[in-house]
Structure 1
Amino acid sequence: MSCELPATELPIESRLEAVCDALVRHNRALLVAQPGAGKTTRVPLALLQQSWCQGSKLLLLEPRRVAARLAAGFMADMLGEALGETVGYRMRGESRVGPNTRLEVVTQGVLTRMLQDDPMLEGVAGILFDEFHERSLEADLGLALTLDVQQGLREDLRLLVMSATLDVEALRQVLGADTPLIDCPGRQYPVSTHYRPLNQRKELAAQQAEVVEEALATSGGDVLVILPGVAEIHRLERELHRRRADLPIKPLHGRLPLSEQHDALVPMAGQRVVLATAIAESSVTVNGVKAVVDAGLERVPVFQARTGLTRLETRRVNRASADQRRGRAGRQGPGWCFRLWAEEQPLVAHAEPEMRQSDLAPLAFELARWGVAQPEQLSWVTPPAKGVLDAGRDLLKRLGVLDHKHQLTPLGRQCARWPVHPRLAVMLERAVQFDAQPLACALAALLESGDRQREPDLAKALQQRLNEPRVYQWQSEYRQWQREAKRLAKLAGCSLEVKGYTAMGSLLALAYPERIAQRLEPGRFRLAAGGLATMAVEHPLAHAAFLVAVELDGDPRQARIFKAVALERQGLEALYPETRHWQTRLEWSATQGRLLGEEVQALGAVILARRPLTQLPAQAVRTALLEALRRRGTLVLDERSQQLLGRMALLRREQGDEWPDWSQAALLETLEEWLSPRLDGITRLDAVDRLPLATFLLESLPWPLRARMDERVPERLTVPSGSQVRVDYSACSEGGEPVLAVKLQEVFGWQSSPAVVQGRVAVVLHLLSPAQRPLQVTRDLASFWSNGYVEVRKEMRGRYPKHPWPEDPLNAPASARTKRRS
Structure 2
Amino acid sequence: MPVMKSLDAATLPIDARLPDILASLEPSSRVLLVAEPGAGKTTRVPLALLKAPWSRGGKWLLLEPRRVAARLAAGFMAETIGESVGQTVGLRMRGETRVGQDTRLEVITQGVLTRLLQDDPMLEGVAGVIFDEFHERSLEADLGLALALDAQAGLREDLRLLVMSATLDVESLLAVMGRQTPVIDCPGRSYPVTTHYRALNQREDVVRQQASAVLESLENDVGDALVILPGVVEIRRLARELAPRAPGLALLELHGRLPLEAQRRALCPDVEGRRRVVLATAIAESSVTVEGVRIVIDAGRERVPVFQPRTGMTRLETRQVNRASADQRRGRAGRQGPGTCLRLWSEEQPLIPHGEPEIRQADLAPLAFELARWGISDPAQLRWVTPPPEASLSAARDLLQRLGLLDAAFHLTALGRAATRWPTHPRLAAMLERAAELDARPLACALVAMLEGRDMDAERDLAQALSLRLADARAYRQWHGEARRLAAIARCGLEVNSLDPLGELLALAYPERIAQRHDERSPGRFRLAGGGLATLPESHPLAHAELIVAAELDGQASGARIFRAVALEVSRLERLYPESREWRTQLAWSDEQGRLVGEQVRGLGAVVLASKPLQALPTEAVRRALLDALRRRGALPFDHQAEQLRGRVALLRREEGEAWPDWSAQHLLGSLATWLGPHLEGVTRLEDVLRLPLGRLLHDSLDWPLRSRLDALAPERLAVPSGSQIRLDYTPCLEDKPPVLAVKLQEVFGWHESPRIVSGRVPVLLHLLSPARRPLQVTGDLASFWANGYPQVRKEMRGRYPKHPWPEDPLVAEATARTKRRG
Superposition TM-score tier, normalisation by shorter sequence? 0.7 to 0.9
Q: 1:200 to 1:482 in 2, by over 3 A?
A: same
In the alignment, structure 1 residue 341 sits paired with structure 2 residue 342 = no
Shift of 1:672: 6.1
The equivalent residue for 2:401 is: 397
> 2:517 touches 2:547 (CA, 8 Å); kept in 1?
yes
> 1:457 touches 1:541 (CA, 8 Å); kept in 2?
no
- Partner Cα separation in structure 2 for residue 369 and residue 414 of structure 1: 11
Moved more, 7-16 or 375-384: 7-16
> 1:517 touches 1:548 (CA, 8 Å); kept in 2?
yes
- Partner Cα separation in structure 2 for residue 136 and residue 690 of structure 1: 42
Q: How does 1:52-63 map to 2 (within 5 A)?
A: 52-63=54-65
The equivalent residue for 1:157 is: 159
Q: Aligned letter for 1:104?
A: E
Larger radius of gyration: 1
- Partner Cα separation in structure 1 for residue 458 and residue 299 of structure 2: 25
Moved more, 279-288 or 536-545: 536-545
In the alignment, structure 1 residue 374 sits paired with structure 2 residue 397 = no
Q: Aligned letter for 1:310?
A: T
The equivalent residue for 1:217 is: 219
In the alignment, structure 1 residue 260 sits paired with structure 2 residue 258 = no
Moved more, 568-577 or 307-316: 568-577
> 1:629 touches 1:668 (CA, 8 Å); kept in 2?
no
Deviations 1:734-776 (A, max 9, x none): 9xxxxxxxxxxxxxxxxxxxxxxxxxxxxxxxxxxxxxxxxxx
- Partner Cα separation in structure 1 for residue 244 and residue 688 of structure 2: 72
The equivalent residue for 1:721 is: none
> 1:455 touches 1:563 (CA, 8 Å); kept in 2?
no
Shift of 1:475: 2.9
Shift of 1:593: 6.7
Query: What fraction of aligned residue pairs are identical, expressed as a percent?
Result: 65
Over the aligned positions, Cα root-mean-square deviation in angstroms equals 3.5
Q: 1:557 to 1:222 in 2, by over 3 A?
A: same
Q: 1:484 to 1:683 in 2, by over 3 A?
A: closer
> 1:220 touches 1:271 (CA, 8 Å); kept in 2?
no
- Partner Cα separation in structure 2 for residue 350 and residue 464 of structure 1: 43
Q: Aligned letter for 1:239?
A: E
The equivalent residue for 1:200 is: 202
Q: 1:271 to 1:253 in 2, by over 3 A?
A: same
Q: 1:365 to 1:323 in 2, by over 3 A?
A: same
Matching residue within 498, 508, 511 for 1:510: 508
> 2:146 touches 2:383 (CA, 8 Å); kept in 1?
yes
- Partner Cα separation in structure 1 for residue 676 and residue 220 of structure 2: 71
The alignment partner of 1:542 has SS state of coil
The equivalent residue for 2:556 is: 555
The equivalent residue for 1:569 is: 570
Moved more, 33-42 or 240-249: 240-249
The equivalent residue for 1:496 is: 494
Q: Aligned letter for 1:514?
A: E
Q: 1:108 to 1:207 in 2, by over 3 A?
A: same
Uncovered stretches (5+) of structure 2, i.e. residues with no partner: 640-648, 650-660, 662-667, 709-726, 731-823
- Partner Cα separation in structure 2 for residue 187 and residue 634 of structure 1: 54
Q: 1:237 to 1:403 in 2, by over 3 A?
A: same
Q: 1:4 to 1:617 in 2, by over 3 A?
A: farther
In the alignment, structure 1 residue 433 sits paired with structure 2 residue 431 = no
Q: Aligned letter for 2:376?
A: V
Deviations 1:624-664 (A, max 9, x none): 5777799896899xxxxxxxxxxxx9xxxxxxxxxx9xxxx
> 2:588 touches 2:629 (CA, 8 Å); kept in 1?
no
- Partner Cα separation in structure 2 for residue 299 and residue 58 of structure 1: 33
The equivalent residue for 1:534 is: 535
Shift of 1:447: 1.3
Q: Aligned letter for 2:451?
A: L
> 1:191 touches 1:326 (CA, 8 Å); kept in 2?
yes
Q: Aligned letter for 1:382?
A: T
Q: 1:275 to 1:669 in 2, by over 3 A?
A: same
> 2:528 touches 2:607 (CA, 8 Å); kept in 1?
yes
In the alignment, structure 1 residue 134 sits paired with structure 2 residue 125 = no
The alignment partner of 1:608 has SS state of strand
The alignment partner of 1:384 has SS state of coil
Deviations 1:184-229 (A, max 9, x none): 1111111111112222232222221111111222223211111111
Shift of 1:296: 1.0
Shift of 1:13: 0.9
Uncovered stretches (5+) of structure 1, i.e. residues with no partner: 637-648, 650-659, 710-730, 735-822
The alignment partner of 1:401 has SS state of coil
- Partner Cα separation in structure 2 for residue 557 and residue 372 of structure 1: 34
In the alignment, structure 1 residue 411 sits paired with structure 2 residue 409 = no
The alignment partner of 2:551 has SS state of strand
Matching residue within 234, 239, 242 for 2:241: 239
- Partner Cα separation in structure 2 for residue 566 and residue 107 of structure 1: 37
The equivalent residue for 2:68 is: 66
Shift of 1:131: 0.2
The alignment partner of 1:543 has SS state of coil
Shift of 1:591: 7.4
Q: 1:467 to 1:592 in 2, by over 3 A?
A: closer
In the alignment, structure 1 residue 304 sits paired with structure 2 residue 302 = no
- Partner Cα separation in structure 2 for residue 446 and residue 216 of structure 1: 40
TM-score, length-scaled by structure 2 = 0.76
- Partner Cα separation in structure 2 for residue 165 and residue 105 of structure 1: 21
Moved more, 593-602 or 383-392: 593-602
> 2:248 touches 2:274 (CA, 8 Å); kept in 1?
no
In the alignment, structure 1 residue 177 sits paired with structure 2 residue 175 = no
Q: Aligned letter for 1:283?
A: S
Shift of 1:498: 2.9
Deviations 1:782-801 (A, max 9, x none): xxxxxxxxxxxxxxxxxxxx
- Partner Cα separation in structure 2 for residue 479 and residue 383 of structure 1: 36
- Partner Cα separation in structure 2 for residue 169 and residue 109 of structure 1: 25
Moved more, 667-676 or 321-330: 667-676
TM-score, length-scaled by structure 1 = 0.76
Shift of 1:541: 2.0
Q: Aligned letter for 2:247?
A: A
- Partner Cα separation in structure 2 for residue 453 and residue 590 of structure 1: 39
Matching residue within 276, 281, 284 for 2:280: 276
Deviations 1:229-262 (A, max 9, x none): 1122222222221212232112111222222211
Q: 1:672 to 1:164 in 2, by over 3 A?
A: closer
The equivalent residue for 2:15 is: 13
> 2:627 touches 2:672 (CA, 8 Å); kept in 1?
no
Q: How does 1:322-721 map to 2 (within 5 A)?
A: 322-467=326-471, 469=473, 475-486=477-488, 488-491=489-492, 495-520=493-518, 521-589=522-590, 595-621=596-622, 624=625, 669=674, 676=681, 679=682
Shift of 1:489: 2.9
Q: 1:102 to 1:602 in 2, by over 3 A?
A: same
Shift of 1:478: 3.4
Deviations 1:537-594 (A, max 9, x none): 1221222221111211111121111222221222112111222232222234577675
- Partner Cα separation in structure 2 for residue 686 and residue 80 of structure 1: 74
The equivalent residue for 1:799 is: none
The alignment partner of 2:346 has SS state of coil
The alignment partner of 1:541 has SS state of coil
The alignment partner of 1:620 has SS state of helix
> 1:300 touches 1:312 (CA, 8 Å); kept in 2?
yes
- Partner Cα separation in structure 2 for residue 447 and residue 210 of structure 1: 37
Shift of 1:437: 1.4
The alignment partner of 2:543 has SS state of helix
Q: 1:204 to 1:671 in 2, by over 3 A?
A: closer
Deviations 1:359-404 (A, max 9, x none): 1111000000000010000000000011110000000000000000
In the alignment, structure 1 residue 167 sits paired with structure 2 residue 172 = no
Moved more, 393-402 or 89-98: 89-98
The equivalent residue for 2:797 is: none
- Partner Cα separation in structure 2 for residue 53 and residue 689 of structure 1: 63
Shift of 1:622: 5.8
